[in-house]
Amino acid sequence: MYLLDVSLDVSLDVSLVVSLDVSLDVLLDVSLDDSLDVSLDVSLDVSLDDSLDVSLDVSLDDSLDVSLDVSLDVSLDVSLDVSLDVSLDISLDVSLDVSLDVSLDVSLDVSLDVSLDVSLDVSLDVSLDVSLDIWHVVSIF
């Protein structure tokens, strides 16, 4: 029997603060002696990579002294806080039941057949030849 318990908690907190301050000051001084037709077009494009496009179009019909001061202040503050908490709990329970039954049957049959044949042939031939020769010599001097 297997029991697997998995608990996963993920907490993600993201805080993004973007502060963009743009200050544009345009100072235009015009001095003229005659009638003047002035058209002034100022276009300002600000992107987050601090690129700036300023275009100024002035059309006039007579003599004109134009003094144009453009001051641009761009302040960009970016604050990013990321907090990630991951909690993983794994619980594994393993239960193993083993049952072993051993049955052993031994049957032994012993059959012993003994056959003994004994044959004894005894043959005894005895031949005795006895020859006795006695010689007795006496000599006297």
* 45/38 Cα distance (integer angstroms): 23
Hey, what are 123's tokens? 């043959």
pTM of the model: 0.30
pLDDT the model gives residue 58 = 53
Q: Pick the closest to residue 38 from 47, 28, 46, 48 (CA basis).
A: 28
Hey, what are 113's tokens? 């057949």
Eight-state DSSP code of residue 36: -
19's CB contacts (< 8 A; 6+ apart) are 75, 76, 77, 78
Q: What is the dihedral sign for C-alpha 44, 45, 47, 51?
A: negative
The CA angle 46-50-51, to the nearest 5 degrees, is: 65
Evaluate whether 43 touches 53 at the Cβ level (below 8 Å). yes
* 39/42 Cα distance (integer angstroms): 10
Q: How far is CA 110 from CA 5, 34, 88, 104, 107, in A?
A: 62, 147, 69, 19, 10
* 136/114 Cα distance (integer angstroms): 67
pLDDT per position in the chain (141 positions), as tens? 677 777 888 888 877 777 777 777 666 666 655 555 555 555 555 555 555 555 555 555 555 565 666 667 777 777 778 788 888 888 888 787 888 888 888 888 878 777 777 777 777 777 777 676 666 666 676
